[in-house]
Amino acid sequence: MSRAFAEVKKREEALLCRTYGRYPLALARGRGARLWDVDGKEYVDLLAGLAVTGLGHCHEELCGVVARQAEQLWHVSNLFYQNNQLDLAEKLLSTSHHAKVFFCNSGAEANEAAIKLARRYMRRVKGRDAAEIITLSDCFHGRTLGTLAATGRPGLSDGFAPLPQGFTQVAAGDFEALGRAVTAATAAVLLETVQGEGGVVPLPGEYLRKVEALCRERDILFICDEVQTGMCRTGRFWSFEHYGLKPDIVSVAKSLANGLPMGAILVTEDAAKGFEPGSHATTFGGGEMLSAVAAKTVEILLRDNMAERAAFLGGHLKEALEALRSRQPGKIREVRGLGLMVGIELAANGRKIWEKLLDRGYICNLSHEKTLRLLPPLVIERAALDAFVATLEQAIQE
């Protein structure tokens, strides 16, 4: 442990609430898909701040937008009309079949907004007292009380009871169980097409299509949580496009403003009728500074065909990892994912391998102690991915 790092670690322990288990690393600087720690050591970033910095660190054009907007206007409140917010909404809506946007500050808040909208839509538009939200096992929708209830993992809500009512969870992939769970009290089904925090688990397309069809048949809302999968990460702008789905509501956050805190829901014309002036709000939602950065982020993602890039690089990475899996039998149980959202499930506890990778300059996430989770910035070079696979092979062989 270097002196510089030991100093940071000591201050953290003294100053901050003990909510995070942190990696033994203090980062000081970043550029593209590279990071440097407080001792100047260089790393390849295969995590992108947990699917946040999709365009990489300190993207030149985004730095320009931040600098210009910082001198013009930061925040005024949603009491006023704001052009940057409208530019962003227009750009976002150009990517999907939705008609309206609500801006907020995080993924959890985006899902809260989706849940609130679904319930209010059922009562005010459909005239049904239907408030139940159905979610899937191993999902993750956030850490507010409402989204914790939706997430339904006992470990995460330990000590926080009582959680809000009105959430039912069924086994992911079990269509019959979902069919049984839908009742007259159901407002919506909320799911991730690829369960990110669940260990990078893509749900089968056929299942997803059946879930959507069931929602149509029973006249309830179909909500996709695209907080992690959205913004080109999976090889399409939205992951629901892979399956031809048309969710009524989509939540987005993580990479929306490439590292500044921002979330949103995209909503169809019909579902949007569930809100009216005064029914939902948040102070910072869609502020001028954040909207300017997010609008430029969306513009660059579209202009530079980042979805295609993610599909190509993700396909290349998965192929290389499958080849590694065959070369080293018994070491890798499964390679999963979609685009640049990749999980490498190891046959044994992966702590040692993860530590070796970090030591050799590769930052990734270890999920459930056995799955290496890769969420690299979409701008990462192919050579960096190849070098990672080679380093992983060494680490596995040792």
* One residue of 37, 45, 212, 225 binding ligand PLP per CB under 6 A: 225
What's the rounded Cα separation, in Å, for the pair 307 and 319?
18
User: Per CB under 6 A, which region of 22-30, 224-232, 241-249, 289-297 contacts ligand PLP?
Assistant: 224-232
DSSP sequence for 71-126 = TT-----TTS--HHHHHHHHHHHTTSS--EEEEESSHHHHHHHHHHHHHHHHHHTS
* One residue of 54, 107, 337, 377 binding ligand PLP per CB under 6 A: 107
**Residue type (1 letter), 269:** E
CB of 140 to ligand PLP, least distance (A): 5
DSSP sequence for 133-194 = EEEETT----SSHHHHHHH--TTTTTT-PPPPS-EEEE-TT-HHHHHHH--TTEEEEEE-SE
User: Per CB under 6 A, which region of 135-143, 162-170, 274-282, 390-398 contacts ligand PLP?
Assistant: 135-143
> Nearest to residue 258, comparing CAs of 214, 299, 317?
299
> Nearest to residue 78, comparing CAs of 347, 311, 301, 286?
286
Q: SS3 sequence, 291-317?
A: HHHHHHHHHHHHHCCHHHHHHHHHHHH
Q: Residues in the chain, how many?
A: 398
Query: Bridge partners of 134?
Result: 168, 189
CB of 116 to ligand PLP, least distance (A): 15
CB of 362 to ligand PLP, least distance (A): 22
CA atoms within 13 Å, Cβ hemisphere of 385: 24
Q: 242-261 mask for ligand PLP (x: CB under 6 A)?
A: -----------xx-------
User: Per CB under 6 A, which region of 10-18, 37-45, 139-147, 347-355 contacts ligand PLP?
Assistant: 139-147
CB of 19 to ligand PLP, least distance (A): 12
Residue 49 within binding range of ligand PLP, rule CB under 6 A: no
CB of 368 to ligand PLP, least distance (A): 15
CB of 20 to ligand PLP, least distance (A): 12
Residue 240 within binding range of ligand PLP, rule CB under 6 A: no
Which CB sits closer to ligand PLP, 142 or 324?
142
* One residue of 136, 211, 227, 375 binding ligand PLP per CB under 6 A: 227
CA atoms within 13 Å, Cβ hemisphere of 246: 9
Q: Closest residue to ligand PLP, Cβ-based?
A: 107
How many CB atoms are located within 10 Å of the residue 233 CB?
32
Residue 299 is encoded by which pair of tokens? 């513009």
User: Per CB under 6 A, which region of 29-37, 107-115, 166-174, 234-242 contacts ligand PLP?
Assistant: 107-115
DSSP structure class, residue 130? -
Task: Name residues contacting ligand PLP, limited to 269-308 (CB under 6 A).
Answer: none
* One residue of 106, 258, 268, 291 binding ligand PLP per CB under 6 A: 106
What is the SS3 assignment for 16? Answer: coil
What's the rounded Cα separation, in Å, for the pair 341 and 242?
14
Q: 181-220 mask for ligand PLP (x: CB under 6 A)?
A: -----------x---xx-----------------------
CB of 356 to ligand PLP, least distance (A): 26
| Matching residue, tokens 């403003």 | 257
CB of 139 to ligand PLP, least distance (A): 8
Residue 140 within binding range of ligand PLP, rule CB under 6 A: yes
Which CB sits closer to ligand PLP, 8 or 46?
46
Residue 138 within binding range of ligand PLP, rule CB under 6 A: no
What is the Cα 17 distance to its own chain's centre? 24
Which residues are catalytic, by number?
A: 140, 225, 254
Residues that bind ligand PLP (CB under 6 A): 106-108, 111, 140-142, 192, 196-197, 225, 227-228, 253-254
